[in-house]
């Protein structure tokens, strides 16, 4: 039997990248005492107020069909939120609501890119980006994000990779997996390059409300002269500890939203009204849980760095936002995958191999910051012990 070419393009780009996480979960289910530091799930339950809002909406009959753009109250609330935060008017016809950031990014790329196009994206990158780009038929063009620049995208690195086929500059700020945050001057320079080469700018901003002390979030939506080419994607999954509700959105030019709408209607024909009501409540005021997560994740990143940086050749990268931190394990002579597999077997600590996030993290591992402080420190001690043993064996 024949299959669509998209299945070939996506072969190997799905759950395979999370194989070590799945193995750790199976070991844990079998009774092994695994310290799990793989995925980025909030370390607290969804606030009761949001669950109650969804329940009340269901009880009142908000369980029928919706529409492809989103429930009017939520669309209006998002337009008001972005107008206030970005300092310029965002209208409801610039908003499309979708089930989570993943679906939102999929739909955005499906709307603006196709076979023959190229999408420039930072490497390292979130593990699903390669598949999101490949499904559209476009070709991914990795742009190195260099540790010496704090993993912030450099305009010269982008410019060197632009060709006549370039169509999209795909940004992620705050960045997963590095925790890097683009500055206003970075965005201005990247925006000028995008204008000069007629590129779309797609900005995944799901960690906007999880920025650590000492830095400030900035978005390309802040720049009025980029209004005709910037599309921002976000959700309540991280900031409001509600990943299972799958509630996201994008903000973009009116014409872009007009063209995306039939795709949304064809694929989904609307999200659940009761989830929209909950989301409207959630985004109408500051998140009640993001400040606490920021404090905990920032503190745990410091605990890991204090325990590991410079020990047994390891180097810790301190994030500026989000819920992950990176460790450079190249001094052990192993790839990130080799180190992570050995660590799981020997020390019962599950981390993500850097290679799951692109070639830019060969020889690195990513740790989530969602375990309690005591387990975080214990995991770091076990990582140090594992690295020390590898160096001893190599001597």
pLDDT at 15: 79
Q: What digits encode the pLDDT tens for the residues 97-111?
A: 999 999 999 999 999
CB of 243 closer than 8 Å to CB of 214: no
Give strand pairing partners of 97: 249
Predicted confidence (pLDDT) per residue in 231-262, tens digit: 999 999 999 999 999 999 999 999 999 999 99
> Is it the case that residue 78 has pLDDT exceeding 80?
yes
What pLDDT was estimated at residue 59? 98
Are residues 263 and 121 in contact, defined by beta-carbon separation less than 8 angstroms?
A: no
pLDDT score for 172: 98
Choose among 247, 265, 268, 271: nearest CA to 63: 271
Using DSSP, state whether 188 is helix, strand or coil. Answer: helix
Write out pLDDT tens, residues 379-393.
999 999 999 999 988
Beta bridge partners of 233: 204, 250
pLDDT digits (tens, 9 = 90+) for 142-192: 999 999 999 999 999 999 999 999 999 999 999 999 999 999 999 999 999
Q: What does the angle CA 103 – CA 340 – CA 350 come to, to the nearest 5 degrees?
A: 65
Calculate Rg over the CA atoms of the chain.
Answer: 21
Task: For residues 137 and 133, give the distance between their C-alpha atoms in angstroms, rounded to a whole number.
Answer: 7
- CA gap 235, 154 in Å, rounded: 27
Give the mean model confidence (pLDDT) for residues 113-141. Answer: 97
Residue 330 CB burial class (10 angstroms; 0-12, 13-18, ≥19)? middle
- Angle between helix axes 19-29 and 336-347 (nearest 10 degrees) is 0
**What are φ and ψ of residue 62, in 5° steps?**
-85, 55
| Average pLDDT estimate for 208-237 | 97
Which pLDDT belongs to residue 122? 98
Assess whether pLDDT exceeds 90 at residue 270. Answer: no
Residue 16: what pLDDT? 81
Quote the mean pLDDT of the chain. 96
345-361: pLDDT as tens digits: 999 999 999 999 999 99
Q: What digits encode the pLDDT tens for the residues 271-311?
A: 899 999 999 999 998 999 999 999 999 999 999 999 999 99
Query: Using CA atoms, how far apart are residues 139 and 346, in angstroms rounded to an integer?
Result: 39
Q: What does the alpha-carbon distance between residue 299 and residue 314 come to, in Å, rounded to a whole number?
A: 19
Structure tokens at 264: 């949304």
Q: What is the mean pLDDT of the segment spanning 117-145? A: 97
pTM: 0.96
Q: Is 361 in contact with 177 (CB distance < 8 Å)?
A: yes
Residue 79 has pLDDT above 90, yes or no: yes
Kindly list the structural domains of the chain, giving each domain's residue range(s) and its CATH number in brackets, ordered by start. Answer: 5-44+289-394 (3.90.1150.10), 48-283 (3.40.640.10)
DSSP conformational letter for 363: T
Which residue matches tokens 């993500």?
352
**Of how many residues is the chain composed?**
395
């Amino acid at each position: 039997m024949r299959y669509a070419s998209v299945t070939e393009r996506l072969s190997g780009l799905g759950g395979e990248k999370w194989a070590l996480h799945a193995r750790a979960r199976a070991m844990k289910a079998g009774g092994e005492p695994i310290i799990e530091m793989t995925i980025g799930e909030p370390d607290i339950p969804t606030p009761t107020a949001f669950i109650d809002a969804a329940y009340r909406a269901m009880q009142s009959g908000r369980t029928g069909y919706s529409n492809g753009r989103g429930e009017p109250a939520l669309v209006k609330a998002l337009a008001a939120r972005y107008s206030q935060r970005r300092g310029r008017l965002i209208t409801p016809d610039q908003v499309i609501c979708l089930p989570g950031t993943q679906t939102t990014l999929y739909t955005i790329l499906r709307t603006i890119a196709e076979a023959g196009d190229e999408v420039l994206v930072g490497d390292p990158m979130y593990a699903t980006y390669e598949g999101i780009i490949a499904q559209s038929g476009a070709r991914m063009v990795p742009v190195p994000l260099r540790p010496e620049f704090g993993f912030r995208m450099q305009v010269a690195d982008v410019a060197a990779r632009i060709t006549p086929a370039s169509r999209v500059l795909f940004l992620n700020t705050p960045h997963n997996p590095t925790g890097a945050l683009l500055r206003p001057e970075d965005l201005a320079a990247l925006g000028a390059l995008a204008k000069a080469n007629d590129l779309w700018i797609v900005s995944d901003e799901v960690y906007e409300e999880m920025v650590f002390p000492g830095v400030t979030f900035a978005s390309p939506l802040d720049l009025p002269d980029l209004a005709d080419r910037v599309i921002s994607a976000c959700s309540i999954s991280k900031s409001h500890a509600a990943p299972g509700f799958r509630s996201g959105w994008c903000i973009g030019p009116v014409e872009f939203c007009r063209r995306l709408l039939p795709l949304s209607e064809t694929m989904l024909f609307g999200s659940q009204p009761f989830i929209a009501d909950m989301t409207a409540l959630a985004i109408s005021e500051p998140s009640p849980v993001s400040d606490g997560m920021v404090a905990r994740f920032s503190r745990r990143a410091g605990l890991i760095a204090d325990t590991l940086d410079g020990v047994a050749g390891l180097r810790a990268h301190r994030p500026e936002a989000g819920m992950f931190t990176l460790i450079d394990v190249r001094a052990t002579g192993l790839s990130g995958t080799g180190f992570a597999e050995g660590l799981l077997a020997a020390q019962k600590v599950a981390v993500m191999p850097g290679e799951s996030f692109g070639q830019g993290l060969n020889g690195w591992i990513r740790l989530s910051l969602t375990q309690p402080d005591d387990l975080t420190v214990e995991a770091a001690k076990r990582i140090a012990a594992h690295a020390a043993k590898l160096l001893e064996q190599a001597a």
